[in-house]
Amino acid sequence: MNKVMISPKNYHGWDGYCLSNGEIEIGVTPNIGGRIISLRYREEELLYVDQNRLGEIFEWGKIEDLSTFKKAFGFRLWGGDKTWVAPEQNWIVGIPPLHLDAGQYAACVDGQSITMTSPVDQETGLQMIRKIALQSNGEITLTQQFTNQSHKTISCGIWDVTQLLRPFRIYFPARGDQVKPDTRFAASLENQHELLNSVMENWVEIRCETPLQFKYSCDITQGVVVALKEQVDHLIAMVRYFDISPEKKYPQGGMVEVYNSGDYPYLELEVLSPLADLNEHDQIAHQQTWLLKHFPKTMTINEILSSVVKP
């Protein structure tokens, strides 16, 4: 077991914190939307960061005309892992709520974890908490929480979005016919036979290996997703475990979504919580457990998936 250390560290021009056990390093940046901006496993960086946005921070009070301001601000992507509010269709002018996505969060370090708390978002009335914990055995826990700080009822879900550096292959437990293409992106339909494969029994593979814009969503049968990255002499797997609620309604396409960028070298692995109606001061939370693993290239995908599925 390796001891977990937390220390201040600057990442890409943002003041932040490093959580490390010697093998895994997690870089968090409270001042740009409470992101995990870096995730290194055995010195290999797994997360994408937009090199044109390094070090950007914003101080917003009340914005008088939010629609006009957001149009001028534009849809910006800084990279890393962040939490959005679902459904996307509720965003003003189609841009994520700014105080949550790019606001400056308060940070509190406690033992082997760091908790980041957002300002109250002007657009939604939500306040977000993101807590990241690293155990000595390498287990990472991400806990996300929304609190309704407004007087209105808010219908929303938690939407975790991780921008991973390509290439990756994504695996989740479902049949191929359960995967739904996002028709906003033509390649989702036109290239489906090239991008999607059925593997093992009732598992789907999505190949995110080239700059082609597409998106798929799916309701899965177990709360597990595997992202696999091929290296010269080994494979790196990011395995995620989380609870699912098949009996509940989800805020958009599915329980999990995968987006691949056509312009930048990243894909998005997205995990959603069920939809909830929050009255004043009501809360919802969603938790994921991440594991990072090395596998020899001699192992088959069936062997890898069988080894990570919980009984």
For strands 256-260 and 214-218, give the pairing. antiparallel
Mean pLDDT (whole number) for 203-210 = 96
Confidence band of 221 (pLDDT split at 50, 70, 90): very high
User: CA 306, CA 127: separation in Å to the nearest integer?
Assistant: 39
pLDDT band at 168, cuts 50/70/90? very high
Strand partners, 266: 165
Tens of pLDDT, residue by residue over 111-122, are 899 999 999 999
In Å, what is the CA distance from 271 to each residue of 115, 249, 280, 293?
Answer: 20, 14, 25, 20
One-letter amino acid of 291: L
For residues 1 and 125, give the distance between their C-alpha atoms in angstroms, rounded to a whole number: 42
Q: Kindly state the helix (H) or strand (E) to which residue 303 belongs, with its residue range.
A: helix 301-308
pLDDT band at 311 (very low <50, low <70, confident <90, very high): low
- Average pLDDT of the residues in 291-298: 96
CATH 3.40.190.10 fits 5-308, yes or no: no
Q: Is 163 helix (H, G, I), strand (E, B) or coil?
A: strand
Element of type H or E holding 73: helix 66-73
* Cβ atoms of residues 170 and 176 within 8 Å: no
For tokens 């691949």, name the residue.
260
Strands 44-45, 106-110: pairing kind:
unpaired
Confidence at residue 148, expressed as pLDDT on a 0 to 100 scale: 99
Six token digits for residue 88 = 């996307």
Angle 195-225-306 from CA coordinates, rounded to 5°: 95
Kindly report the number of other CB atoms within 10 A of residue 100's CB atom. Answer: 26
Q: Tell me, what amino acid is at 90?
A: N
Q: Show me where the domains of the chain are located.
A: 5-308
pLDDT cut 70: percent of the chain above it: 99
